[in-house]
Structure 1
Amino acid sequence: MRTQVGIIGSGPAGLMLSQILHNHGIESVILERQSRAYVEARIRAGVLEQGTVNMLREMGVHERMDAEGIVHHGFALAFDGRQERIDMHQLTGGSTVMVYGQTEVTKDLIAARLAAGGMLKYSAPAVAVEDYDGAHPRIVYEENGRRQE
């Protein structure tokens, strides 16, 4: 299989990279060692910083996040019986955080990649990256017990 970019891992970073590349006309293939069901069920962090929220919106992968996520404008710090509210929105000129689980971000990005015809290979562990600094770099992976490139 030939592609412009090979990505190892279909977590949010790999999926987001693939979506960004797609939006710029660059083809990619994502290889993931786990099954799609496993990846979509992994529980991870649930707070997205403003930059991540902005990036998801710019990529057009924000509909569910905007509908289901919870915006927080600040947080409280408690120490020695006192509680102080830190107003991020005011202190940063409008930045907030979004409570929206990484599991949901992953599902949204998978859906976006598949809708755009992206190639995601699950249960296909990468075994090696060969000739990465040469003329013909390749990722060696296993699929159905067979070596693939």
Structure 2
Amino acid sequence: MAHSTESTVGELVAEGIHRARVFETYGIDYCCGGKTTLAEACRKAGCTPDEVAAALDAADQDTAQAGSDTTDWRATSLTKLTTHIVQTHHAFMKRELPRIADLLAKVRNAHGENHPELADLAQVYGALRAGSRRISRRRSRCYSP
């Protein structure tokens, strides 16, 4: 296992934000519970450190491979470029915007009493999310092959 069971979940996420999804999958709190060791977090979540470490390793590997795209987009057809944008970036936004909204709601519920600025952040994020959806839909209709 490449990940020490004595590392905190907060440290593991700080080393690679993509690991947050793994912890979310297992119901492990890396925000308020960020100082909890991997071993303790797994015990609380009812899973094994080996199971979570394997998922973390897979996420690390997927992230490393995703960064190896060497496509020269300048030499790619407009159709291929447009398809890539819609399938990759629009899909990413469609998947991640709701996830971020959920995370923001959790942080606001946990810390909003001491951080009233989170209400402003939620309002700004809501406007950003709505605008991004409108733009994404419009571009998908206009430019889809």
Q: TM-score, normalised by structure 2?
A: 0.27
Structure having the larger proportion of residues in helix:
2
